[in-house]
Amino acid sequence: MARVPPENIRNYCIIAHIDHGKSTLADRMLELTGVIVGGAGMPQILDDMDLERERGITIKAHAITMDYLNHDGGRYVYNLIDTPGHVDFGYEVSRALAACEGAILLVDASQGVEAQTIANLYQAIEAGLTILPVMNKIDLPSAQPESVKQQIVDLIGCDPDDIMSVSAKAGTGVAELLAAIVTQIPAPKIDIELPLQALIFDSQFDNYRGAIPYVRVISGEMKAGMTVVFHSTGRKYLVDEVGLLSMKKLPVDVLTAGEVGYLIPNCKEVSETRVGDTIGDALRPMPNPLPGYREPKPMVFSGLFPADADDYEQLKDGLGRLKLNDASLWSEPETSTALGFGFRCGFLGLLHLEIVQERLEREYNLNLVCTVPNVEYRVTQTDGKVILVDNPAQLPHQTVIESVEEPVVAAQVVTPPEYIGAIMQLTTERRGTYINTEYLDPKRAVLHYRLPLAEIIYDYYDKLKSLSKGYASLDYEYDGWEVTKLAKLDILLNGDIVDALSVIVTEDKAYAWGRRVVDKLAEVIPRQMFEVAIQAAIGGRIIARASVRQMRKNVIAKCYGGDISRKRKLLEKQKEGKKRMKRIGQVDLPQEAFLAILKTD
């Protein structure tokens, strides 16, 4: 891999909505620059976790370096920095953007601009990035290049002729795009004389080598053998190795200002190499860190318990390992009377939660019970003390609560105008405060709302998608606290509170909520040996009840010579089914019971 002077380096990312073709375009670029050999069926390089592929999202930013030979013979180095494509990972996106000078704005010519694109675009513009607008999938018969072009023009105020058209799939226009990167995206502006400053935009974990931060060197240089200091923690590390992010990690002597690469700082925990942190030279520290750093801040909390109590150690181990790789995953041991030993975990969002849950179940062969997710509440007590509550079970008694605040977000919904009415109704129901509506073009509006985060983590997004036939899209960012009247709703099974089913809800919705949860539970709890009485209560007062009748028959009433093997297999199957349930007192509770509470109708 060639090393080039900083003026021949281009650092950029691709901003695109899910499925608009970012991975495909990245693959084409890598092929044309010879990083990978092209051909059908080649994997998409930038998403390298199974789960990411399945969900069509990039969970964590990655980066890759390629050589580019310009037609006039100039050698360039391109660093393509990937950005995660889901609202849960907004902060990670902002750090990836901060490592770039330019962004390709990629819009599907058949779909047009979506909320996520807009949100990320605004972030990129704020970060001072040069935007290179590109329309993808022009090969599709359903492409509407003219109207989509107009949307882009309205969005960034460019000249329609500056919008490039490509088909990432067929490769059309990709060579031209690569050439345009040289002329359109600025080279990094650097000062080699200044002391070292490097921005961590991602962090990986290697079983042998520990945490491996991916960095953009902003100023100065970084070498193996030097001692660096991480600004947020003040910790110092001896650098073992620095290198470039080619297809494989490629060690080099030095990374200089403008370059993108990795370092191996001999650090055992990813939690010490935090995205957004600034790395400096321990001998010549810079007084101020790079702007924009934020402590990893989980937004959604849930209890994770092994369905089988014997698997606790396995869960502990699995979570420990995932945390090595994921600084935004938080956990601490939790004990529930109903579910036994487990962990209270914090996530960036529901999707993050689902991914963690799935990875634990799949990679560590666990059956998990996840309690109803909730946000964190800020409680001011009558004695003036302020506490943060991330678990309904810990909400202080009503008599000692002065006030409760919940986190709110600034949300933007992009939608075709015909769904505005329905979306407004939904969002108002979900306690949203309307701010304004902007039109991107006659066919696309952006609704701005201030909305409690708690409303979004339930089924707001699903609802939004279904009432707009999939057309509306959502993005949000954290926007402070707001005082709310809240109540703790308990669920009782056969008279005992199941702590793991308690939720915090707004007072005015508590009744309706309790009724729905009780009915839903009566639906998903299978009939069993004993009748199950289900009740919802607020502060000891029962507000709704239902029951599941006793099961009276569970046998195949015929068992002769040929039936015995079949019988045994049936029992095995039932046993498997039971394993996926949690026994609470006399009641077998299916995992869906916990989910059922989420889906409110």
Partner 1 sequence: MTSFSLYIHYPFCIKRCPYCGFATAVEKEDLAIRYREVLLLELKRRAEEPPWRGGTVRTIYFGGGTPSLMPPEYVGEVIDLVGRLWKIEDKDTPPLSPPQAVGRWDIEITLEANPETRDIKAFRGFREAGVNRLSMGVQSFDPEELKLLGRAHSAGGVGEAVAIAREAGFDNLSLDLIYGVPGQTVESFRRSVEFALGLGIEHLSTYTLSIEEGTPFARSVKEKRLPYPDPDLMADQYDVLIDLTRQAGLDHYELTNYGKPGLTSRHNSAYWQRTPYLGVGCGAHSFDGTTRFWNRRDTRQHISAVHSGNDPREGEESLTQADVRQEELYLELRQSRGLEAGEVERLCKPEVVEELLASGFLVWDDSRLRVDERKWLMLDEIVLRLLK
Ligand X SMILES: Nc1nc2c(ncn2[C@@H]2O[C@H](COP(=O)(O)OP(=O)(O)O)[C@@H](O)[C@H]2O)c(=O)[nH]1
- Residues within the interface to partner 1 (CB under 8 A): 528-530, 551-562, 564-565, 567-568, 570-571, 574-575, 578
171 binds ligand X per the rule CB under 6 A: no
Q: From the list partner 1, ligand X, none, pick the one residue 579 interacts with, judged by a Cβ distance below 5 to 8 Å according to partner type.
A: none
**Among partner 1, ligand X, none, partner that 18 touches (CB below 5 to 8 angstroms by kind):** ligand X
Structure tokens at 25: 């375009």
Total chain residues near ligand X (CB under 6 A):
16
Distance CA 482, CA 580 (A): 39
Q: Which does residue 169 touch among ligand X, partner 1, none (CB within 5 to 8 A, set by kind)?
A: ligand X
Among ligand X, partner 1, none, partner that 568 touches (CB below 5 to 8 angstroms by kind): partner 1
Q: Where are the alpha helices (DSSP H) in 490-551?
A: 510-524
**Positions 539 through 558 that interact with ligand X (CB under 6 A):** none
297 binds, among partner 1, ligand X, none (CB under 5 to 8 A by kind): none
Which one of partner 1, ligand X, none interacts with residue 56, CB within 5 to 8 A by kind?
Answer: ligand X
Give yes or no for residue 23 binding ligand X (CB under 6 A): yes
> Is residue 164 a contact residue for ligand X (CB under 6 A)?
no
Residue closer to partner 1 (CB basis): 433 or 586 = 586
Amino acid at 51: L
Q: Which of 198, 459, 497 is nearest to 339 (CA)?
A: 497
Instruction: Give the one entry of ligand X, partner 1, none that residue 140 binds, where binding means its C-beta sits below a cut-off of 5 to 8 angstroms depending on kind.
Output: ligand X
Do 146 and 135 touch, CB atoms closer than 8 A? no
Structure token pair of residue 71: 């037609």
Give whichever of 42 and 570 is closer to partner 1, judged by the CB atom: 570
The greatest distance separating any two alpha carbons of the chain, rounded to the nearest whole angstrom, comes to 88
Among the listed ranges 18-26, 237-245, 334-342, 491-499, the one in contact with ligand X (CB under 6 A) is 18-26
Nearest distance, CB of residue 559 and partner 1, angstroms: 6
Question: Between 141 and 561, whose beta carbon lies closer to partner 1?
Answer: 561
Tell me the closest approach of the beta carbon of residue 312 to partner 1, in angstroms.
Answer: 21
Q: What residues contact residue 161 under an 8 Å CB cut-off, 6+ apart? A: none
- Whole-angstrom distance, CA of residue 327 vs CA of residue 295: 10
- Long-range (24+ apart) CB contacts under 8 A made by 251-256 are 251/224, 252/3, 253/223, 253/224, 254/221, 254/222, 254/223, 255/198, 255/215, 255/217, 255/221, 255/222, 255/223, 256/6, 256/190, 256/192, 256/217, 256/220, 256/221, 256/222
Nearest to partner 1 of 234, 561 (CB atom) = 561
What does 567 interact with, of partner 1, ligand X, none (CB < 5 to 8 A by kind)? Answer: partner 1
Our CB check for ligand X shows the closer of 39 and 495 to be 39
Are 377 and 388 spatial neighbours (Cβ–Cβ below 8 Å)? Answer: yes
- 402 in contact with ligand X (CB under 6 A): no
Q: Which does 570 bind (CB under 5 to 8 A by kind): ligand X, partner 1, none?
A: partner 1
* Contacts of residue 31, Cβ cutoff 8 Å, sequence gap at least 6: 37, 38, 42
When asked if residue 56 is in the footprint of ligand X (CB under 6 A), the reply is yes
Which of 20, 60, 95, 274: binder of ligand X (CB under 6 A)? 20
Nearer to partner 1, 309 or 571 (CB): 571
Give the whole-angstrom CA distance, residue 49 versus residue 98.
24
Q: How far apart are CA 451 and CA 433, in angstroms?
A: 6
The total of other beta-carbon atoms located within 10 Å of residue 355's CB is: 25
* Cα–Cα distance, 356 to 370 (Å, whole number): 11
HEC string of 456-493 equals HHHHHHHHHHHHCCCCCEEEEEEEEEEEECEEEEEEEE
Beta strands 227-230 and 221-223 are unpaired
Report what 565 binds from partner 1, ligand X, none; CB cut-off 5-8 Å by kind.
Answer: partner 1
Choose, by CB under 6 A, the member of 32, 140, 410, 533 that binds ligand X: 140
Kindly indicate which of the ranges 114-122, 137-145, 369-377, 513-521 contains the residues binding ligand X, using the contact rule CB under 6 A. 137-145
Residue with Cβ nearer ligand X (47 or 455): 47
Q: C-beta of 139: minimal distance to ligand X in Å?
A: 5
DSSP strand pairing (130-136 vs 102-108): parallel
Contact 312, 306 (CB under 8 A): yes
Under rule CB under 6 A, residue 16 binds ligand X: yes
Using CB under 6 A as the binding rule, whether residue 24 contacts ligand X is answered as yes
Number of Cβ within 10 Å of residue 570's Cβ equals 13
> To the nearest whole angstrom, how small is the minimum distance from the Cβ of residue 587 to partner 1?
13
Binding at 2: pick from partner 1, ligand X, none (beta carbon under 5-8 Å per type):
none
Please pick, from the candidates 51, 153, 169, 484, the single residue that binds ligand X as defined by CB under 6 A.
169
For partner 1, the closer of residues 297 and 569 by Cβ is: 569
Dist CA 552 CA 529 (whole Å):
7
Whole-number minimum distance, CB 558 to partner 1, in Å? 4
* Kind of pairing between the strands at 496-497 and 473-484: unpaired
**Member of 151, 165, 167, 502 binding ligand X (CB under 6 A):** 167
Nearer to partner 1, 248 or 553 (CB): 553
Token pair of 115, please?
């909320």
Out of 8, 12, 13, 22, point to the residue binding ligand X (CB under 6 A). Answer: 22
* Residue number, 133 or 298, with CB nearest to ligand X: 133
Nearest to 259 by CA among 246, 277, 248: 246
Question: Looking at 96, 98, 135, 168, which residue binds ligand X (CB under 6 A)?
Answer: 168
- Please, what is the Cα angle at 233 between 102 and 98, to 5 degrees? 5
The two three-digit tokens of residue 230, written as one number: 């991480």
- Give the binding site for ligand X (CB under 6 A): 16, 18-24, 56, 136-137, 139-140, 167-169
